[in-house]
Amino acid sequence: MANIKLMNKISPIGTDVFKGGDYNVGEDVEAPVGLMVRSAALHDMEFGPELLGIARAGIGVNNIPIEDCSKKGIVVFNTPGANANAVKELAIAALLLASRNITGGVEWAKTLAGDAEAAKLVEKGKSKFEGPELLGKKLGVIGLGAIGVMVANTAYNLGMEVYGYDPYISINAAWSLSRHVNKSDSLKAICEQCDYITIHVPLNPATKGYINDELFSHMKDGVRIINLSRGEVVDNAAMLKALESGKVAKYVTDFPSAEVLEMPNTVCIPHLGASTPESENNCAYMAAAQLKNYIEYGIIKNSVNLPEVDTMPDCKYRICMIHENIPNMISQLTTALGDAGVNIEHLTNKSKKDMAYSIIDTNDNLPADLEAKVSAVAGILKVRVIAY
């Protein structure tokens, strides 16, 4: 029985993936081989040696200790693209909220409740809430992943002149991006050209405080900024100065904090980016399917710390080995298997930065001490054998 522990409430669309198999799924299970998580913080959690993988039903993984997981041979999955449409739709709404003072107007209109002259007062006071149209304005999209590409394409269809910046754009994203989206070679160019800027980058040490005093100095006066990425991507002290000086006309963020809620000309959305039933279902299903495929077949797809290996087994046994990406590792593994009298039918090896993953398929019966012998090889982090 394989235990799957739920760290948050997960849509049944996801947990149903494990039905019919030899799984025990729930919030109270012990010694899990897999974790499913949304926003729960795992940094202080002790991971047992039986834990194989963590599946994040969403894109951000800053709530998971990635480095610690890598050292223990634990695969961390996320679900890129599963919530892309939901976030794209909110980004388009955010563009409108940044442009037209919709929220201010709505709040003001509520104050007229019960006034017999409300209709006349609306006509008299509405000019205080006017704002520019999106048509013909220049939009800079920082980060052209699944969400950024969809935002860029939709904004172009709304009549905006769109500029995109992403030095690490994937081949799939590049194919999906409209040919009408202009390529920018630097953040500075985006800042100098654009009337609106929307941010779609992951939070990591390189992007913390990404939008800062230096970038604001290159932006147009009155620029409007949307942040549906992560709150820490924006330097709040720098944003406050930019708002107070008028450099930034409006800041729309999906990440309210005590500090941000006090800022002028700011629209705070309560982290609704992926809060749609469709998105939650998509993320839960994708996360569960990836975790299940890894447990049963050793397949890795959409991992943030291990390379992608998407080959189905066609032998009696599959030996899965997570190890450091160091010289002579493959020769040591093949020697260890050769010494054990195991013939290799198929060997797959992929690496991702300092981490590597090797799969060996064989039809030979395996000695009982094989896992222990392979685990003894320097640089090996986790070994398991799957029998079919």
Which member of 161, 232, 271, 296 is catalytic?
271
What average pLDDT score do residues 130-136 get? 97
Q: What is the pLDDT of residue 59?
A: 86
**What stretch(es) of the chain map to CATH 3.40.50.720?**
1-83+277-305, 84-268
What length does the chain have?
Answer: 388
Q: Report residue 195 as tokens.
A: 């009337």
User: Residue 374 carries which side chain, given as an amino acid letter?
Assistant: V
Q: What is the pLDDT of residue 375?
A: 94
User: Residue 44 carries which side chain, given as an amino acid letter?
Assistant: D
What average pLDDT score do residues 281-299 get? 98
Residue 113 confidence (pLDDT) above 90: yes
Q: What is the pLDDT of residue 103?
A: 95
Strand partners, 382: 322
Q: Any alpha helices (H) in the chain, and if so which ranges? A: 12-15, 66-71, 84-99, 102-110, 118-125, 146-157, 171-176, 187-193, 213-216, 236-245, 258-261, 277-297, 329-339, 370-375
Q: Write the Ramachandran bin of 271: left for phi over 0, alpha for psi from -120 to 50, otherwise beta.
A: left
Q: What is the pLDDT of residue 287?
A: 98
CA distance 181 to 301: 29
- Check if 180 is active-site: no
Q: How confident is the model at residue 60 (pLDDT cuts 50, 70, 90)?
A: confident
- Check if 271 is active-site: yes
**Are the beta carbons of 331 and 345 closer than 8 angstroms?**
no
Q: What is the pLDDT of residue 56?
A: 97
Q: What is the pLDDT of residue 18?
A: 97
Q: What is the pLDDT of residue 172?
A: 87
Q: What is the pLDDT of residue 78?
A: 97
Which member of 38, 230, 323, 384 is catalytic?
230
Q: What is the pLDDT of residue 164?
A: 98
More confident residue, 221 or 172: 221
Share of the chain above pLDDT 90, in %: 95
Share of the chain above pLDDT 70, in %: 100
Q: Does domain 84-268 have CATH number 3.40.50.720?
A: yes
Q: What is the pLDDT of residue 79?
A: 96
Which member of 259, 262, 278, 308 is catalytic?
259
Fold type of domain 1-83+277-305: Rossmann fold (3.40.50)
**What stretch(es) of the chain map to CATH 3.30.70.260?**
307-388
- Check if 323 is active-site: no
The architecture (CATH level 2) of 307-388 comes to: 2-Layer Sandwich (3.30)
Strand partners, 183: 164
**Mean of all residue pLDDT scores within the chain:** 96
Residue 158 confidence (pLDDT) above 90: yes
